């Protein structure tokens, strides 16, 4: 498996919009932005740079997960936590399209995201998933996640909250790269 994590491009629009529709049917927001494709790409670039972020947003990398030239999912790597992310979203959010599940892609996406955050100096990475999402819980646990608690915030579904300690990750060669 050669999985590549990279920023989205103009050419990704059809595939990522298909994944967005597919995952929306499962109750998951894939693209994290509204508007034209050019507006979305501008939003992703702005969040990656950390410049001129709207209230409530943190610096974040939105990356396409690609295997053999085919987008199979996406990952959002948030460089810091705000109140909402501390309760619900965590440092890392990932999604893999239905046809690409069960191949280790989510595990590799999360592993690389944790390495990236370790390289940025984040000592403990928060990753969350719905309490009934056994597959995602298994991914997080494979990547070293330790269950902290399960919380219900507002009217939302119960969320499992895991912490991954980054002290054991060698960042000397990767230096936070994905």
Q: What is the pLDDT tens value at each position of the chain, 178 positions in all?
A: 699 999 999 999 999 999 999 998 988 877 766 789 999 999 999 999 999 999 999 999 999 999 999 999 999 999 999 999 999 999 999 999 999 999 999 999 999 999 999 999 999 999 999 999 999 999 999 999 999 999 998 888 899 999 999 988 877 655 445 5
The residues, ordered by sequence, that sit 6+ positions from 156 with a Cβ below 8 Å of its Cβ are 88
The overall pTM is greater than 0.85: yes
Query: Which domains are present in the chain?
Result: 3-165 (3.40.630.30)
**CA–CA distance, 51 with 145 (Å, rounded to integer):** 31
Chain centre distance of CA 137: 14
User: Environment class of residue 14 by beta-carbon count within 10 Å: exposed (0-12), middle (13-18) or buried (19+)?
Assistant: exposed
């Amino acid at each position: 498996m050669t999985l590549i994590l990279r920023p989205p491009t103009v050419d990704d629009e059809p595939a990522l919009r298909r994944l967005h529709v597919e995952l929306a049917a499962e109750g998951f927001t894939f693209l994290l932005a509204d508007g034209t494709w050019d507006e979305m790409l501008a939003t992703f670039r702005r969040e990656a740079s950390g410049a001129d972020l709207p209230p409530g947003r943190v610096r974040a990398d939105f990356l396409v997960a690609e295997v053999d030239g085919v987008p199979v999912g996406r990952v959002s790597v948030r460089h810091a936590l705000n109140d909402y992310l501390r309760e619900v979203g965590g440092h890392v959010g990932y999604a893999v399209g239905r046809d690409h599940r069960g191949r280790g892609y989510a595990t590799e996406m999360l592993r690389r995201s944790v390495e990236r955050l370790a390289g940025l100096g984040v000592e403990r990475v928060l990753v969350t998933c719905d309490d009934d999402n056994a597959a995602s819980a298994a991914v997080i646990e494979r990547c070293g996640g330790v269950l902290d608690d399960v919380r219900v915030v507002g009217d939302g579904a119960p969320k499992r909250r895991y912490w991954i300690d980054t002290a054991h990750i060698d960042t000397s060669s990767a230096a936070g790269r994905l």
